[in-house]
Structure 1
C-alpha cells in the first residue's frame, strides 16, 4: 500500500487504534501530535503506543495556523479523529475550527478524500461538542474534497465511568435506565474506518456487536468489579435544572453535562460490527489486561 494517510487526533483513544490499523495494512502513516514523546507512551483506556507505527511525524498544535499550513503536503488522504469531550479545550476551537483548517489545506493540496469521525445523532444534540461536530460535518459535505463521514454509536472507553461508579458501590441512570446503546471498541471502529478509506465518498453509522440498555450495562459493570448491583434512577425532569446550574459553574461543565445527559436519554443504536464485547472490556479494565 503506497498511499500516505495523514491522521489528526492521532494521540486520542480512537486515533491510536487508527494509526495501528493503518500501519498494519501497509499505509504510509503521517501523524500530527503536540508531543512525539507523549504519543509514543501508553495511550488512554488501553490504546496502543505509537512508537514504531508512524512513518512521518508532524509535531505541533493543531490550533496553530503555522502547524496546519501545508500539513497535507505529501499526503494522499486525511483521516480525522480530532475532537474533545472531557479535555480542557473549547470544542469550537478543536472539533470545528481545527478540523476546518486542515480541510482548507486538504482542498489546497487536492487530496483524494477526507474521512471524519463524528458521532451518531449529532444533528439532534444541544451540547457545544455535538454542535461543533455537526458544523464541521456540514462544511466537509460542501467541500470539493470527497468526504467520508463515520458516525459511531459511542465508544467502550466512554462507559468506563460505569466501572468507577460500580467500584464506589452505586450507579445512576436517567428514568428507568431503558435507553439502548450499541457501543463499539476502538479496534473494531478503526478496522471499520480503514476498510472505507479507499472507497467512494459516503456516510456510515456504526455500532458494536451488542445492543444493551443502560441498566444492563450497569449490571455488567457491577459484575466486573464483583459487587452487588445498586442503581439509582434520576427523574428526567431534573436534567433541565442540572444543565442550568452547570452552565453557571462554567461553560465547560455545562457542555459536559449536556453532552453526557443527552446520551443517557437518547437511544444510540447503529448497524453492528466487530468482535469485541463490552462485558469482556469491563473485565479487562478491572483486571488491568486491556488490549
Structure 2
C-alpha cells in the first residue's frame, strides 16, 4: 500500500489498535499525538506500543487549531478515534471542535475519506460527550469528504470498570439490568475499520460476538474476580436526583453521570464483528492487575 493515512486519537485504546492494523496492511501511518514518547510506550488494556509502526509523527493540541493546520497535507485518508475518555478535558472542545478542525483540514487538502469512530445511540444522549459526538457526526455527513461513521456498542476496556467494583464486592444495575450490550475488542474494531476504508459515505453499528445484559456483565465480573455476588438494583426513579446533584457538582461530574446512567438503561447492540471474547479478556486484565 502506498496510501498515507492520518490517524487522530492514535494513543487511545482504539487508536493504537488502528495504527497497528494499518501498519500490518502496509499503509503509511501519520500519527497525530500529544506526546511521541507516550505513544511509543505500551498502552493500557493490552493496547500496543506505536514504536516502529508510524511513518510520520505530528504533535498536535486539539484545543489549538493552528497545530492541526496541514495535518492532512499529502495524505489520502483520515481515521479519527479522537475523543475524551478519562482525561480531564471538555468533550465539546475535543470530540466536536477538535474533530471539526481536523475535518476542515482534510477538506482543504483533498482527502478522499474521513472515517470517524463514534458511539452507538449518540443521537439520544444528553451528556456532553454524546451531544458532542452527535454534532460532529452530523457535520461529517454534510462534508464534501466521503464520511464513514463507525458506531461501536462499547469497548472491552470500558467493561473493565465492572471488575474494579467487583473486587470491592460491589455491583449495581439500573432497574433489573435487562438492557443489553455487545462490547468489542479494540483489535477487532480496528480490523473492521481498516477493511472498510475505501467504502463510500455510510455508517455501521458494530459490536463484539458476546451480547450480555448489564446484570450478566456484573455476574461475569464477580465470577472473574472470584467473589460472592452482591448486586444492588438502583431504581430508575433515582436517576433524576442523581443527575440533579451531579449537574451542580461540576461539568465533568455532570457529563460522566449522565453518560453512565443513560448507557445502563438502553440497548447498545451492534452487528457482531470479530472473534475475541469478553471473558478471556477480563480474566487477563484481572490477572495482570492482581
TM over 0.5: yes
**Partner residue, 1:205:** 205
**Partner residue, 1:84:** 84
CA distance in 2, matches of 1:71, 1:270: 32
Deviation at 1:200, TM superposition (A): 2.1
Deviation at 1:130, TM superposition (A): 0.5
SS in structure 2 at match of 1:249: coil
Query: Are the equivalent residues in 2 in contact too, given 1:162–1:218 (CA < 8 A)?
Result: yes
CA distance in 1, matches of 2:33, 2:12: 10
**Partner residue, 2:266:** 266
CA distance in 2, matches of 1:85, 1:20: 20
CA distance in 2, matches of 1:115, 1:91: 19
Q: How big is each residue's C-alpha offset from its partner over 1:144-171, in whole Å with a ceiling of 9 and x where there is no partner? A: 0011000000111111111001100121
**Deviating more after overlay: 61-70 vs 88-97:** 61-70
- TM-score of the aligned structures, taking structure 2 as reference length: 0.98
Query: Are the equivalent residues in 2 in contact too, given 1:86–1:256 (CA < 8 A)?
Result: no
**Partner residue, 2:226:** 226
Q: How big is each residue's C-alpha offset from its partner over 1:243-272, in whole Å with a ceiling of 9 and x where there is no partner? A: 110011101100000001100111101110
**Partner residue, 1:141:** 141
CA distance in 2, matches of 1:229, 1:281: 20
**Where do 1:1-291 residues align within 5 Å?**
1-288=1-288
CA distance in 1, matches of 2:173, 2:272: 24
Q: Give the number of aligned pairs.
A: 289
Deviation at 1:228, TM superposition (A): 1.6
Return structure 1 stretches of 4+ with deviation > 3 angstroms: none
SS in structure 2 at match of 1:288: helix
Query: Are the equivalent residues in 2 in contact too, given 1:85–1:129 (CA < 8 A)?
Result: no
Q: Tell me how large the CA RMSD over aligned residues is.
A: 1.0
CA distance in 2, matches of 1:170, 1:92: 32
CA distance in 1, matches of 2:53, 2:124: 37
CA distance in 1, matches of 2:169, 2:65: 47
Deviation at 1:224, TM superposition (A): 0.9
**5+ unaligned residues in a row in structure 2: which ranges?**
none
SS in structure 1 at match of 2:233: strand
**5+ unaligned residues in a row in structure 1: which ranges?**
none
